[in-house]
Amino acid sequence: MKMLRLPLAIFAILLCSLNLYSQRSTGTIYQLIIYHFQDKEQEAALDLYMAKALLPVLHKRGVHKIGAFKPIANDTAKMKQLYVLLPFKNWKDATEWRLAILKDKDYCNDAAAFHAAPYDKAPYTRMENIYMQSFALAPTLTLPVLSGSIADKVYELRSYESGTEERYRNKVHMFNEGGEIDLFKRLGFNAIFYGDVIAGSRMPNLIYMTSFNNMEQRNEHWKAFGESPEWKKISTMATYQKNVSKADIILMHAAQYSDY
């Protein structure tokens, strides 16, 4: 019995901490769901579920500005991915929606085949969740102002990991007070969100997304960023050295059912 009490006590403390955090937090809570799949059959099942079941029920519950993206690398990757970004006003909404939608009759009907799939014909191989708190200077999700076809538009997701919590907070400071967010704005990067990862598999890390009309524009923007006087000043400051230990860059196109 004593062995059981300790994990339960730790879990209770975690829940209390999240509750206190949610009470004092402002801004947006982001949930990034990553579905891993292998073939066209799984992709079709995921697309149908998103377009006809999940996004409609979330819209009904007041969750809007939902992004759905597929990496360009899916074309050649053995394990493919679908990224779904959900913005919530608070932790309560972010943690209760999964059970709440099961009470919606339309959703249950529309998602029946997806949830009842045989174990050997699952609609995806693996699913992971990342929870984030918005940055202080970017408290809400911003819809991008883009032109061109959905096939040309590029959404760039970046994850920056740090070696320690201290170095991580230093990188977050670099984005906020250090002026990195302001530089992205000035150069027209169409940043959609900046997230401080609260729960995920690669912590400590931050995740953010920028967007462009096409790949050529994306390359031009990053060239301008690297050559800007602001970046040269920020990146050479002694205060901001060695605060990123690993960077992942994922270039994506929006799915047909994405809100943007």
Q: Average pLDDT across each block of 10 residues of the chain; the chain has 260 residues. List them in order.
A: 46 46 70 98 99 99 98 95 99 97 98 97 98 98 96 99 98 98 98 98 98 98 98 98 98 99
Question: In one letter, which amino acid is 116?
Answer: A
Six-digit token string for 230 = 């602001």
Residue given tokens 């994506």 in the structure block: 252
CATH numbers and ranges of domains, the chain: 27-254 (3.30.70.100)
Six-digit token string for 214 = 């096409």
Question: In one letter, which amino acid is 181?
Answer: I
C-beta separation of 196 from 133 below 8 A: yes
Region for residue 68 given its phi and psi (left: phi exceeds 0; alpha: psi -120 to 50; beta: otherwise): beta
Residue (of 152, 111, 124, 150) closest to 259 by Cα position: 150
C-beta separation of 69 from 86 below 8 A: no
Q: Encode pLDDT of 129-167 as tens digits.
A: 999 999 999 999 999 999 989 999 999 999 999 999 999
Which residues does residue 110 pair with via DSSP β-bridges, in sequence order? none
